[in-house]
């Protein structure tokens, strides 16, 4: 949990902010994310608001759409709020979480191969489930991936749709890593499942090398073929999410996975586990600040 700065809102809706999820220099997340305490002073949430430059109305529409979904690995939305005098916001129940860039910093560099492979399998399952339901994430980037002890969760749902009206050129969208944006979306095309697959390739490249557009030889052997295929400039040449990192499971277990909103755990380096524990301790020890004004548009 990062300390609040003078320009951070002390309150968002009825919630009191305890700290930021993202580092101050880190401007890759497509939304601003805070750890907050509820109005009752008991429950803790991960709360999100749109970044500056994002259409708040469209962002709220995407948040409401996410609230209606139950997809394993997609960060759930418990409540959507806001009003004419304040930015929209949405909440998820808090669990200790590190954005992927923060996890690499905690680890001191790219993640080990087995961790990246497990991460790729988990994210591919999430996208495959979403795509089977006719849902495109449209916001996948390294900062959208939150690592938790229970498995990765995807934040920033609908970021591309919220950041620019259909038909506008989408390069340089606020908070979006340009290396994660599929060429057809950067050119103004509507977000579709092949764009999610392109972004998944960029995310896995980042996890394994520290950047989203590495040279092929920089990738570990097990990633070269799938990441190269995901990053094809031709959407038709990209694999479908369910074709990546297949792991056969007994039918009964597979049904259980698809019928719940619980992500699948993956192995995490000890350094990342320590960072998650440290964040949890900070939240438990946090004292509520003196209530102040709400954030305005």
Q: pLDDT tier at 153 (50, 70, 90 boundaries)?
A: very high
Q: What is the mean pLDDT of the segment spanning 180-201?
A: 94
In percent, the amount of the chain with pLDDT more than 90 equals 65
Q: pLDDT tier at 123 (50, 70, 90 boundaries)?
A: very high
Is there a single domain that holds both residue 55 and residue 140? no
Structural domain includes residue 292: no
CATH of the domain at 74: 3.30.200.20
**Distance (Å, whole) CA 212 – CA 208:** 9
With a cut of 90, say whether residue 53 has pLDDT above it: no
In percent, the amount of the chain with pLDDT more than 70 equals 84
Structural domain includes residue 22: yes
Is there a single domain that holds both residue 23 and residue 134? no
Is there a single domain that holds both residue 87 and residue 102? no
CB-based burial label for 206 (10 Å; 0-12, 13-18, 19+):
buried
Lowest mean pLDDT among 47-51, 99-103, 121-125, 246-250: 246-250
Q: What token pair was written down for 276?
A: 């998650």
Is there a single domain that holds both residue 268 and residue 281? no
The winner for highest mean pLDDT among 30-39, 83-92, 109-118 is 109-118
Contacts of 11 (CB under 8 A, 6+ apart): 17, 291, 292, 293, 294, 295
Strands (E), the chain: 11-12, 15-20, 31-37, 44-50, 79-83, 86-93, 98-99, 145-147, 153-154
CATH of the domain at 131: 1.10.510.10
Is there a single domain that holds both residue 216 and residue 114? yes
Is there a single domain that holds both residue 61 and residue 186? no
Lowest mean pLDDT among 16-30, 118-132, 205-219: 16-30
Is there a single domain that holds both residue 221 and residue 243? yes
- The pLDDT mean for the chain works out to 86
What's the pTM value of the predicted model, to 2 decimals? Answer: 0.88
- Domain membership of residue 22 as a residue range: 11-96+274-285
Is there a single domain that holds both residue 18 and residue 164? no
Other Cβ atoms within 10 Å of 267 Cβ, number: 13
Is there a single domain that holds both residue 142 and residue 261? yes
Q: How many domains does the chain have?
A: 2
Q: What is the mean pLDDT of the segment spanning 183-194?
A: 92
With a cut of 90, say whether residue 252 has pLDDT above it: no
Is there a single domain that holds both residue 71 and residue 164? no
- What pLDDT was estimated at residue 238? 97
Is there a single domain that holds both residue 103 and residue 240? yes
First CA to last CA across the chain, in angstroms? Answer: 25
Go through 51-80 and write b for each residue having 16 or more CB atoms within 10 A of its CB, e for each that does not: beebebebbbbbbeebbeeebbbbbbbebb
Is there a single domain that holds both residue 108 and residue 250? yes
């Amino acid at each position: 949990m990062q300390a609040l700065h003078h320009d951070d809102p002390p309150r968002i809706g009825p919630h009191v902010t305890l700290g930021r999820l993202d580092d101050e220099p880190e401007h890759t997340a497509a939304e601003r994310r805070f750890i907050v305490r509820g109005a009752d002073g008991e429950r803790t949430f991960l709360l999100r608001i749109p970044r500056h430059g994002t259409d708040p109305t469209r962002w709220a529409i995407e948040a409401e759409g996410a609230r209606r979904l139950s997809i394993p690995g997609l960060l759930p939305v418990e409540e959507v709020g806001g009003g004419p005098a304040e930015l929209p916001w949405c909440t998820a129940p808090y669990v200790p979480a590190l954005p992927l860039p923060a996890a690499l910093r905690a680890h001191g560099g790219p993640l080990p191969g087995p961790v990246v492979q497990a991460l790729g399998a988990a994210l591919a399952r999430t996208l495959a489930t979403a795509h089977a339901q006719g849902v495109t994430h449209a916001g996948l980037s390294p900062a959208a991936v939150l690592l938790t002890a229970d498995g990765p969760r995807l934040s920033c749902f609908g970021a591309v749709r919220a950041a620019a009206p259909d038909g506008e050129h989408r390069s340089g969208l606020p908070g979006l890593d340009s290396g994660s944006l599929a060429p057809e979306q950067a050119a103004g095309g509507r977000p579709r499942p092949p764009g999610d697959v392109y972004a998944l390739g960029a995310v896995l490249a980042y996890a394994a090398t520290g950047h989203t557009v590495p040279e092929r030889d920089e990738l570990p052997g097990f990633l070269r073929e799938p990441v190269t295929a995901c990053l094809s400039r031709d959407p038709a040449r990209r694999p479908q999410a369910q074709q990546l990192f297949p792991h056969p499971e007994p039918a009964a277990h597979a049904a259980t996975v698809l019928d719940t909103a619980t992500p699948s755990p993956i192995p995490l380096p000890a350094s990342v586990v320590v960072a998650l524990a440290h964040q949890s301790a900070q939240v438990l020890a946090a004292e509520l600040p003196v209530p102040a004004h709400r954030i305005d548009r």
